A and B are shown apart, each in its own frame.
Chain A
Amino acid sequence: MQFDMTKPLPVVQPWSEKFWEGTKEGKLLVQHCKDCNSNIFYPRKYCPECWSGNLDWIESTGKGKVFTFSTAVSMVEPRFMDELPYTLAYVDLDEGVRLMSKIVECDPEDIKIGMEVEVVFVERENFMLPYFKPVNK
């Protein structure tokens, strides 16, 4: 039985290219609407609040808090088996947007709702994926 064991890469849209370029410079960028002042995640072609195309980017502090989390122990796709156990979390950034990412550099049992985390970039082929680790770790 043949399983695809390659690690998946983000399927990028033209309007999210800047986000991924930013990660290569160690920056976590958040899309910003210059008309209605909204911070936007995930990046869109037009602002989902006001449909403006007048969009820009701000650099996130890279800091946030765990909103919720779960640690995978088994039954993940074969391509992720080598990473078990691993924890995914919703992270609320200081800029008021939420993203899903992996929590690294800590024991899964130490992860709590509300835990302060900061971004750390991990290479996968030509991408730098934004993971998070506990602050001061």
Chain B
Amino acid sequence: MSHGKIAIIGIGEVPTRSMPERTQWDIIYDTCMEAVRDSGLNKNDIEGVVSCAPQAQDRLAAELSFGKLPEELGLKGCKDSVVCNAGGASTSNCIRLAEQWIESGVAKAVIVNHVTVQSDIPLPDIIAFFGKAGVDMQWEYPFGVTYNLIMGMMATYFMNKHGFTARELASVTTALRSWAEKDPNSIFYGKPTPSVDKVLESDMLATPLHKREANVLADGGCAMVIVSAETAKKMGKPAAYKLGESVRYFSGSVVMRDFDQVEEGFRITAQEAIAQAGITKEQINLWNIYLAYAMCHPIMAEALGVCPPGQAGKYFLDGRMSFGGDIPWATIGDAPGRGHTGSGVSAATYVETARQLMGKAGERQIKDCKYVFQNTSGGSGFNNIATVWGRDF
């Protein structure tokens, strides 16, 4: 097993909901304070702040970029503060930066946080933002592209290549929602998991993608406290140790994306991250996958070798990745289950990785969870970052 360099020792999160009554700073206070208290550190022990760049929230982005968070929260020991933007891969980069600050001696303890409040953004503005984000303004946007169309084109390709059926793809949503139903932080907490038939009965958005297979925009926020692995060990508290990482870049524009290269990227990054962690894929207790759209999950499952080639659709349809199934998978339900919080679903996925390794996941707790594989992906899928985390090092 690899000797990790950093560990998450504290987590804080607010439920993902539509919360126009809560300001972004209201959520920042609650999540950061909860994470610091959970870590057992004093607020003044926090020496660095790395925030995920808020999407479609220009004012907040400017405030965070200009260092307001340490001042607002009275982090008297803070030495530096920065915002990091790589779309859905922002959190991975925030953690990398925290790792660099800790290793280089800039900071001993770093807060990584995310907040998104979209419910108070006027509809025309939110449509205008997501309509253009990650879309080429010369070669894609004038033709009427949307994220749903992009995913629809990917799904059409992979259904043709792998033989996935519409029922199999719909069953991914059912699997993700089965975890969300049990997750107090999910927008769908306590709401009945839709059956495969129910998913398929929902309106078509962009063939073959149905409404229930897409995402609901929501507000949310979370925070993590990160220290060196040695410090975490000395503190003797439950922690999530980073053990391995690998990444591949695909393309900035969707029109340039080679879908086969994406599949290969999923496969090789997992292999490299698991090898760096010094374990085997059979030792992974939870595959905590973040891909934003349900239809990408079977591709990932096959690339990871979690199921044999051509079998991923059947695995999902048989409920093997659902709550209660034998393959723990995306235990917050990814964006279709959690609610889409801009670049925040990946942050929430890291918090869940830590929560599972700390043994704090309640009804969704994976028994004897020692190793978690987690990925993130930025923009409309410009890269894939694979990481492995352990409860010890």
Interface residues of chain A, those whose CB is within 8 Å of chain B, are: 1-4, 7-13, 16, 42, 67-78, 80, 83, 86, 88-90, 98-102, 108, 113, 124, 127, 129
Q: Which of A42, A70, A83, A127 contacts B139 (CB 8 A)?
A: A42
Partner of B155 from the list A11, A70, A83 (CB cut-off 8 Å) is A70
Given the interface pairs A1-B123, A8-B141, the reply to whether A100 lies near B206 with Cβ below 8 Å is: no
Whole-angstrom CA separation of A86 from B148 in the bound complex: 13
Which residue of chain B lies nearest to A7 when distances are taken between CB atoms in the complex?
Answer: B142
Separation of A68 and B232 alpha carbons in the complex (Å): 49
Interfacial chain A residues near B203, Cβ < 8 Å: 73-74
Total number of B residues with any Cβ neighbor in A under 8 Å: 42
Question: Does B156 contact A124, Cβ atoms closer than 8 Å?
Answer: no
The one of B138, B152, B206 in contact with A10, judged by C-beta atoms closer than 8 angstroms, is B138
B149 at the interface (CB under 8 A from A): yes
**A72 in contact with B144 (CB, 8 Å):** yes
The CA of A33 and the CA of B153, in the complex, are separated in Å by 30
Q: Are B127 and A71 in contact (CB under 8 A)?
A: no
User: Inside 8 A of A70's CB, which chain B residues have their CB?
Assistant: 148-153, 155-156, 206-209
What distance in Å separates the Cβ of B121 from its nearest Cβ neighbour in chain A? 12
CB distance from A103 to the nearest CB of B (A): 10
| B binding-site residues for A, Cβ under 8 Å | 122-124, 127-128, 131, 136-146, 148-157, 160, 203-209, 211, 214, 253-256, 259
From known contacts A67-B157, A68-B156, A98-B255, infer whether A74 and B139 are also in contact, taking CB-CB under 8 Å.
Answer: no
Cβ-defined contact, A3 with B145, below 8 A: no
Q: Which of A4, A71, A86, A113 contacts B124 (CB 8 A)?
A: A4
How many Å lie between the Cα of A83 and that of B160 in the bound state? 27
- Which A residues are in CB contact (< 8 Å) with B211? 75
Which listed residue, B124, B148, B150, touches A3 by the CB 8 Å rule? B124
Q: Is the CB of B140 within 8 A of A100?
A: yes
Are A100 and B124 in contact (CB-based, < 8 A)? no
Chain B residues closer than 8 Å to A16, beta-carbon distance: 138
Contact across chains for B146 and A75 when beta carbons are under 8 A apart:
yes
Q: Give the docked Cα–Cα distance between A90 and B143 (Å).
A: 12
A100-B143 contact, Cβ under 8 Å, with A68-B153, A72-B206: yes
Distance in angstroms from A106 CB to nearest chain B CB is 14
Q: Whose C-beta in chain B lies nearest to the C-beta of A114?
A: B160
Cα A100 to Cα B146 with chains together (Å): 12
Per the bound structure, the CA–CA distance linking A52 and B207 in Å amounts to 40
